[in-house]
Amino acid sequence: MPEFDAPAPTSHGHLAPDRSTAENLARMLRALADPTRIQLLALMNGAGPEGTTVKELTDALTFRQPTISHHLRILLDEGIVCKSQTGRQTWYSIAAEHAGSISDLLR
Amino acid sequence: MDPTEALDRARQVLVLAHPERLSVLSLLTSLPDYSASAAGIAETLGIAPEAVDEALDALAQAGLVHWQRGDRAGDPRVSPTADAWIRFSSLLDKRPGPGPLPTDAPGVQSGVGSDDRPLGPHPVPGPTPPPGQEVPPVIHRIADQLAHRFSATFSAETVHRYVRETYFLLRSRSRVQRYLASLTSRFATERLHALALARGIEMRPVPQVLFVCVANSHRSQIAASILKFIGGDQVHVRSAGSAPATDIAPEVVEVLDEIGCSLLGEFPKPLTDEIVQASDVVITMGCGDACPVYPGRIYLDWAIEVPPTHDLQAQRVMRDEIQHRVEDLWRSLSPSRSEHHQP
C-alpha cells in the first residue's frame, strides 16, 4: 500500500512527468551539467538584456575562444541559449523560456 | 560564479539528469506533504524498488533529498531539500513543446492578502525579494527565532533577509502550496548553515558567555554590559533571568553609565534552554537551580547580593565587585590577552 491513496492535488494535476517529458528534461540537464557551461550561463544571467558577446565571455573565463564556442554550441543546440545579431556583433543570451529556471539553478 | 561553485553545481545537475531521479524528485514535490517512503514511491511511479533506492541514494548524495527521522512507527520518509526546491522546482515544472505552462492554475496560498505578482511558470528571479512586501507575522517570528539561534554567526539583519528571501522564493514556486511557514523555517535554517560553512565561519568562533540572575534587570545586566565592553568582538555575551522583570532597574543604568558602559537596547529576557545550550560559560547569580545544566559547559556561581535600590553607593560597590569578577573571567577566557599584558 502506498502512503498516499489519492493523486496529489497539484496545481496542474499531475504527479510526475511522463516518460518522454522526463527524458527530455534529463537531456537538457545533461547539456547544463558542465562547470564551464554553468559559468557561461552565470555570466549571461548577470548580463544586460542584450546578452553577452563571445569576447566578453572569453575575457571573463580563462578559456580560449574555440573552447567557449564549443560550449556555446551545445547550449544553442539544446535551445537553452539563443543568439542575435546587431551589425557585426553577435549577442548570446539565455532563451526567454528558460530564463527563470536557469536563474533559479544558479542560485 | 567561481570555478569550484560551478563544478559543484554541475555535479548536482548531472545527478538529476536521469529520467527516474527526475520522476522521483518531481513526485516528492507534488505530494500533499512533500514526503514519501521508498516503497510508496516505487508503487506510485510503477518502477522497481531497486531503481527507487538507487535514485534516492544519488539524490541524497547530491543534497537534493533528505531522510526524515520518523517519529512514529513505519518506513522512513524522504523529502526534497531546500536546494531541490529553490534551484530545481521550476525546472521540474517544465514541459517540452511550444508555449509555456498555463498560468490559470490556482495561485499559491500565501497567507498574505492580495498579491499581484505574476505566478507564472517562471518565478521572477532576483537575489532579493521585492523590498516593499511584508511577510506574514509567522514568518517574522521564525526570523526572530533563527536570529537568536544564529546570533553568534550572523547579524539579525542577515538572518531576517535570508528568511524573507526564502519565504518569497518558496512562495513563488507553484508547487509549494502548503506548509509555507514550516518549509520556510526549515529551508532558511539549512541555507544559513550552508552559508556559514561556505564562508568558513565556525559556528562558535568566540566564547559564548551567559549571565543569569532572577530578574535580568540588575546583576546579570551589569556583568553582561561590562564583559561586552572589555571583550568587544572577542566574546559573545548574553544575559537572561529565571523570572525576568519588565524593565532594567534605573540605578543600574546610572552606575554603568559612570564607568562608560551602555545598556542601550537591553531589556530583561527569559532564560530558555536554547540560550543555555548555545553557551560555553554560564554564570549564575543567585537564581538558584532555575538554570538547566547541560554537559560540556562551564558553570560558575557568583554570590552577589543586590543592595537596596536607593543606596547608590552600595550599588557602586556591587558594580565594582562584578567588574573585578568579570575581568578575572575574561583573563581566564583569553589567556593570550592576559599574557600580552604581563610585563
Extents of the domains making up chain A:
37-105
Count interface pairs A-B at CB distance under 8 A: 145
Instruction: Report CB contact under 8 Å: B10, A101.
Output: no
**What would the grid cell of residue B319 be?**
558594580
Residues of B in contact with A37 (CB under 8 A): 10
Instruction: Report CB contact under 8 Å: A104, B91.
Output: yes
Rounded to whole angstroms, the Cα distance separating B160 from B166 reads 10
Cα dihedral B238, B241, B246, B251 sign: negative
Residues of A in contact with B14 (CB under 8 A): 29-30, 33
A21 at the B interface (CB within 8 A)? yes
Q: What are phi and psi of B184, to 5 degrees?
A: -60, -45
pLDDT digits (tens, 9 = 90+) for B183-216: 788 778 877 877 776 666 554 467 889 999 988 8
**What would the grid cell of residue B341 be?**
599584558
Instruction: Report CB contact under 8 Å: A37, B10.
Output: yes
pLDDT digits (tens, 9 = 90+) for B168-191: 877 877 666 667 777 788 778 877
Residue of higher predicted confidence among B74 and A64: A64
Query: In this structure, are residues B292 and B272 in contact, taking their beta carbons and an 8 Å threshold?
Result: no
Nearest CB among A2, A11, A34 relative to B43 is that of A2
Instruction: Report CB contact under 8 Å: A38, B20.
Output: no
The domain A37-105 having CATH identifier 3.40.50.410: the answer here is no
Structural domains of chain B ordered from first start:
1-81 (1.10.10.10), 117-205 (1.10.8.1060), 208-332 (3.40.50.2300)
pLDDT by 10s per residue, chain A, length 107: 444 333 443 333 445 667 778 888 899 999 999 999 999 999 999 887 788 999 999 999 888 899 999 999 999 999 999 999 888 889 999 998 888 889 889 98
CA distance to partner chain B, nearest, from residue A37 (Å)? 8
- Whether the per-residue pLDDT at B267 is higher than 60: the answer is yes
Rounded to whole angstroms, the Cα distance separating B21 from B134 reads 36
Q: If you search the block for the grid coordinates 540572575, which residue do you land on? A: B213
pLDDT digits (tens, 9 = 90+) for B40-62: 999 988 889 999 999 999 999 99
Residues of A in contact with B174 (CB under 8 A): 11-12
